[in-house]
């Protein structure tokens, strides 16, 4: 969980994404169009991405945390 907190503290806007997720792509594109430069962490490309995903799922409200497969 400390690892996730450190990632979240990097920038004001942080996206935990999966490279194959079309909704994640849409959100990243939309934020970019608004001139934002979020910190993006691709869970499926991280060595311990599943652990990070589990930590996120257990610490946030489900309605705004969409789990993509």
State pLDDT tens for residues 23-49: 889 999 999 999 999 999 999 999 999
Domains of the chain, residue spans: 2-56
Q: Provide the whole-model pTM.
A: 0.76
Helix H or strand E segment including 40: strand 39-42
Please give the CATH topology (third level) of the domain spanning 2-56.
Glutaredoxin (3.40.30)
32 or 63: which leads in pLDDT: 32
Across the chain, how many H-helices and E-strands are there?
Answer: 3, 2
Predicted pLDDT of residue 7: 84
Q: How far apart are CA 27 and CA 63, in angstroms?
A: 16
One DSSP character per residue, 50-69 reads: HHHHHHHHHHS-GGG-PPP-
Q: What's the token pair of residue 3?
A: 């690892």
């Amino acid at each position: 969980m400390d690892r996730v907190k450190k990632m979240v503290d990097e920038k004001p806007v942080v996206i935990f994404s999966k490279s194959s997720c079309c909704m994640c792509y849409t959100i990243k594109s939309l934020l970019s169009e608004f001139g934002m430069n979020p910190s993006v962490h691709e869970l499926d490309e991280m060595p311990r991405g599943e652990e990070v995903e589990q930590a996120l799922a257990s610490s946030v409200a489900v309605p705004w945390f969409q789990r993509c497969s």
